Structure 1
Amino acid sequence: MNDNLIQSSCGTPWSAWQHAAHLARATWTTPRQLCPPGRRLVLIAPHPDDEVLMAGGLLASFRGREDDLVLISATDGEGSHPGSEHWTEHRLRRQRPLESRQALQQLELDLNRLDWRRLNLKDGGLPREEAFLVNHLSQTLQPDDVLVATWRSDGHCDHEAVGRAAAQAASARKAQLVEVPVWAWHWAQPDDPRLPWPRAHRLQLDEASLARKRKALAAHVSQLQADGPRPPVLPANLQDCLLQPFELVFL
């Protein structure tokens, strides 16, 4: 990651976020309200674990509705361990899509019915691919679709590029845009004015969906294990924030 916000932060624990007044005021909604039956959900994930981190609970609610779901994986996540002898780019390019497949199975989604597209773009290079992403999303989207993407100010270059491309395509195709913060939980402070709190909603997850999300995240072994002296890619504080009984979305 080349992103100063992430690198400069030690991580904000969930115990601090619990006292955030803006978060407490965020309106509650449900997966069914966000994307009712008859509407299609299109989710674009920058890296192979982001679909779970962003919206694993929402995706779990699509069990039995896979025909209404399009999942787009922008990269294979091969850049998560720069310089590692164990997790080389070559190994990660095979491993991380396998982890994604296992994670989706833990969400109990029928992969035979799921429209899952792997774009195989370069991890860390999505800012250079924005025009391609806008074009792909514009061709995919139908009016009235719900498009879920990482927040365009999330602090990771790939997350932000996906967010910008999604915003442009959703506007052009008259789809509903849902932006989801991931790394912002790590670098932001409670009630941080850099977050668009007036757009914030909490997507309520039932116990079963949250349990499936936890199992799905556990499938991403490469991101959860220390690599020698290096800590895991996904810090424990970040996992705690993203495994609460809701998902924070900006509408």
Structure 2
Amino acid sequence: MNANPIVGQGTSLRAWQGSTRVAGLPLISVAQLVPAGCRAVIIAPHPDDEVLGCGGLLQGLAALDRELLLVSVTDGCASHPGSARWPRQRLREVRPQESAEALHRLGWSPQRLSWLRGGFSDSQVQAREPALVEFIQQHLHPHDVVFTTWREDGHCDHEAVGRASAQAARAVGAQLIELPVWTWHWATPEDTRVPWHRAHKIALTPAAVARKRHALHAFTSQLEGDPQIDLPPVLPPHVLERLLQPFEVVFV
């Protein structure tokens, strides 16, 4: 997308809850997505996208004892521009710590997964997209199932990471599955730009939703803005609620 569609309050949770299209999406299980013997690779543009997009999936992978590689492409240090409360250096240190705590709340200790940090610049991934393709590709295997943000998700980093992941997965013969994150904000249930024909739902129990919510509350930096400069939080309640429905959507 050329213009930034992440403005205002976005599409309401009620609109999504009332959608017959979303209600009718076919179900798919974590075991179907990542069969035994396959490794799950989650490629997150920023430290938190792995939980926003697939915190329920992560719980399922832990329960199945699947092998997991998490790639944090950036350190997320551009989330609070101009903030003295949340300067870039503090965010660079804090955001990976928040991710580690969130993963722990979802059943993933540091010993259970492999975790790579790409070191790419937050909000500038597109400028180094070829390098990102190379970085991802060298860590993938043909039996991997790669989860990443949708190539048309509406955030520049999400889209660049989606494109790079798709190219790298295609090069090694790995399967690619895309996740809508900011799509829930700017799209509507009838939006023809969304690839609904590829969409499936992972059903989440109330306990799984509660655990995902608990994990998301580890991201203190993203739940806080900076009142001193009238900077709102990146993840206000209305954004979180759209991502805490009793399912997660994947584009297969």
Smaller-chain TM-score range?
over 0.9
Deviation at 1:64, TM superposition (A): 5.8
Seen in structure 2, the aligned counterparts of structure 1 residues 161 and 217 have a Cα distance that, compared at 3 Å, is same
Contact 2:80–2:225 (Cα < 8 Å) also in 1: no
Distance 1:136 1:32 in 2: 28
Contact 1:57–1:247 (Cα < 8 Å) also in 2: yes
1:6 corresponds in structure 2 to 6
Unaligned runs of 5+ in 1: none
Deviation at 1:69, TM superposition (A): 0.4
Q: TM-score, normalised by structure 2?
A: 0.93
Distance 1:111 1:61 in 2: 17
Matched, 1:131 2:126: no
1:239 corresponds in structure 2 to 240
Listed as ranges, the matches of 1:101-116 within 5 Å are: 101-116=100-115
2:186 corresponds in structure 1 to 187
Once the two structures are superposed, what CA deviation does each residue of 1:116-170 show, in whole Å capped at 9, x if it has no partner? Answer: 0111211011101211221122111111311000000011000000000111112
Aligned residues: 249
Contact 1:186–1:237 (Cα < 8 Å) also in 2: no
Deviation at 1:209, TM superposition (A): 2.7
1:198 corresponds in structure 2 to 197
Deviates more, 1:149-158 or 1:229-238: 229-238
Deviates more, 1:203-212 or 1:174-183: 203-212
Contact 1:205–1:245 (Cα < 8 Å) also in 2: yes
Distance 1:175 1:135 in 2: 15
Deviation at 1:224, TM superposition (A): 0.8
Q: TM-score, normalised by structure 1?
A: 0.94
Once the two structures are superposed, what CA deviation does each residue of 1:16-40 show, in whole Å capped at 9, x if it has no partner? Answer: 1122232122111111111122111
1:22 corresponds in structure 2 to 21
Matched, 1:70 2:69: yes
Deviation at 1:66, TM superposition (A): 5.8
- Percentage of identical aligned residues: 52
Listed as ranges, the matches of 1:1-251 within 5 Å are: 4-7=4-7, 9-63=8-62, 68-228=67-227, 229-251=230-252
SS at 1:27's partner residue?
A: coil
Deviation at 1:67, TM superposition (A): 6.1
SS at 1:142's partner residue?
A: coil
Deviates more, 1:172-181 or 1:128-137: 128-137
Contact 2:78–2:122 (Cα < 8 Å) also in 1: yes
Alpha-carbon RMSD: 1.6
Once the two structures are superposed, what CA deviation does each residue of 1:191-225 show, in whole Å capped at 9, x if it has no partner? Answer: 21110110011111233332221111000011112
- Name the aligned partner's letter for residue 248 of structure 1: V
Contact 2:36–2:66 (Cα < 8 Å) also in 1: no
Could you list the runs of 4 or more consecutive aligned residues of structure 1 that deviate by over 6 angstroms after TM superposition? Answer: none
Contact 1:19–1:190 (Cα < 8 Å) also in 2: no
SS at 1:219's partner residue?
A: coil
Distance 1:177 1:3 in 2: 26
- Name the aligned partner's letter for residue 57 of structure 1: G
Seen in structure 2, the aligned counterparts of structure 1 residues 3 and 156 have a Cα distance that, compared at 3 Å, is farther
Unaligned runs of 5+ in 2: none
Deviation at 1:85, TM superposition (A): 1.5
Once the two structures are superposed, what CA deviation does each residue of 1:78-117 show, in whole Å capped at 9, x if it has no partner? Answer: 0001111211111111111111111111112121131001
Distance 2:190 2:236 in 1: 21
